Amino acid sequence: MAESEVDFESEKYEKLREAGEILSQVRAETADRVEVGASHLEIAEYAEDRIRELGGQPAFPVNISIDEEAAHATPSIDDESTFGEEMINLDIGVCIDGWLADTAITVDHSGNPELAEAPEQALEAAIDIIEPGVETGEIGAEIEDVIDGYGYNPVVNLTGHGLGHWEQHTTPTIPNRAVSQGTTLEVGDVVAIEPFATDGGGKVTEGASEEIFALEREGSVRNRQAREALEQITEEFRTLPFATRWLETSRPEMALRRLKRNDIVHGYPVLKEDDGCLVSQKEHTVIVTEDGCEVTTA
């Protein structure tokens, strides 16, 4: 997109900033409440309710990833889990009229402060070089270099991503390591930079658990609970991810099984580090400007 075509005072960018401001406040407030013994479900619901109170909508269920978990973990309906002396990643998103902000932070109660610090410093280094004309592979090289310098590995099969209108993951992909072929950033691009660090080998795979889903396609089902769930999904969540616990129908787990069996929704299995090692994370959303970038979630 040519510079002259980008109006940073337009409604789109104002809503992106508004989403980022809400998210920055909610991230700080939520992280302060993550203490040993606190409830996963209460923390997730606090953050999601706070987003609504401040005028936004959750862009996806609050992810609470513990130790070797890297993404897609969120409490179930009657979850009784509490925090222990663990590495805890919070990944939170805000939506304003379809415009999104995405952020993440590690709260370390495991006694590994340098592992928690590595993605934070990698994110700062990545943001420092973002400007029009920078290739995404260069951003990945910065991230990899910083995490390597701490003696850890980046998680190479998780990436940052673009943010579209009602689209949580879109182009360009922002790697967490150096790659030879990438995408050149342009003025007006909106991207989430998302370094992950681990004391393991640096890859994640899908686990068995699923609590987060998203609409795959339009469809119809006979079952009443499944119909009620699908109506809520299409009207309230559209294409954005949602949690089982958000559904207002009775027996939501059964409704989702039916919708999934009919390929109307798809699930997001919890992602875990291959070696069972700790994973840390830090994420900001940025807008690429004429002379650098604007961090909306700072």
Q: In this prediction, what percent of the chain has a pLDDT beyond 70?
A: 99
Contact 132, 288 (CB under 8 A): yes
Q: Rounded distance, CA 58 to CA 38, Å?
A: 21
Q: Of the residues 108, 161, 189, 284, which is catalytic? A: 161
Q: Which residue in the list 21, 138, 144, 194 is annotated as catalytic? A: 194
**pLDDT for 209-225, tens place per residue?**
999 999 999 999 999 99
The whole-angstrom separation of Cα 131 and Cα 292 is 4
Whichever domain contains 235, its CATH number is: 1.10.10.10
Torsion (CA) 64, 67, 71, 72 in degrees, nearest 10? -50
In this predicted structure, what is the pLDDT of residue 181? 84
- Here the CATH number for the domain that contains residue 109 is 3.90.230.10
Active-site entry in 48, 68, 86, 102: 102
Same domain, 140 and 158: yes
Do 137 and 128 touch, CB atoms closer than 8 A? no
- pTM summary value: 0.96
Do 263 and 190 belong to one domain? no
Q: How far apart are CA 283 and CA 176, in angstroms?
A: 12
The answer to whether residues 202 and 75 belong to one domain is yes
Query: Does residue 107 sit in the same domain as residue 219?
Result: no
Q: Strand 153-154 relative to strand 292-295: parallel, antiparallel, unpaired?
A: unpaired
Binding residue per annotation — 40?
no
pLDDT at 239 over 80: yes
CB neighbour list of residue 53: distance below 8 Å, 6 or more residues apart: none
Whether 169 is a known active-site residue: answer: yes
Spell out the residues 6+ positions from residue 32 whose beta carbon is closer than 8 angstroms to its own: none
Q: Is 124 a catalytic residue?
A: no
The reply, when asked if residue 91 is annotated as ligand binding, is yes
Instruction: Encode pLDDT of 98-136 as tens digits.
Output: 999 999 999 999 999 999 999 999 999 999 999 999 999
Closest CA to 170 of 192, 187, 154: 192
Of the candidates 91, 144, 210, 211, the residue annotated as catalytic is: 91
pLDDT in tens, 20-37: 999 999 999 999 999 999
2 pLDDT band, cuts 50/70/90, is: very low
- Clarify whether residues 236 and 125 are in a common domain: no
- The reply to whether 144 and 252 lie within a common domain is no
For the segment 202-206, the average pLDDT, to the nearest whole number, is: 98
Q: Give catalytic status of residue 102 as yes or no.
A: yes
**What is the average pLDDT score of the chain?**
97
Is 1 a residue whose pLDDT tops 60?
Answer: no
Q: What is the pLDDT of residue 74?
A: 98
pLDDT digits (tens, 9 = 90+) for 46-64: 999 999 999 999 999 999 9
Q: Is 40 tagged catalytic? A: no
Residue 291 is assigned to a ligand binding site: no
Co-location of 187 and 246 in the same domain: no
Three-state DSSP at 73 gives: coil
Q: Is 109 annotated as a binding residue?
A: no
Domain total in the chain: 2
What is the predicted pLDDT for the residue at 106?
98
Average pLDDT of the residues in 170-185 = 95
- 3: pLDDT strictly greater than 60: no
Question: Is 275 one of the annotated active-site residues of the chain?
Answer: no
| Burial group, residue 234, by CB count within 10 angstroms (0-12, 13-18, 19+) | middle
Residue 165 has pLDDT above 70, yes or no: yes
Same domain, 168 and 56: yes
Instruction: Give pLDDT, residue 5.
Output: 82
Please give the Cα distance from 155 to 279 (Å, whole number). Answer: 8
User: If you average pLDDT over residues 270-289, what whole number do you get?
Assistant: 98
Inform me whether the pLDDT recorded for 95 exceeds 90: yes
Give the domain extent around 278. Answer: 3-206+271-295
Burial 28-43 (b: 16+ CB within 10 A, else e): eebbeebeeeebbbeb
**109 and 144, same domain (yes or no):** yes
Q: Is 266 a catalytic residue?
A: no
Both tokens of 283, joined, read: 């994420």
239 and 140 both lie in a single domain: no
Residues 156 and 223 reside in one and the same domain: no
Report phi then psi at 141, rounded to 5.
-65, -40
pLDDT at residue 286 tops 80:
yes
Q: Are residues 83 and 171 in the same domain?
A: yes
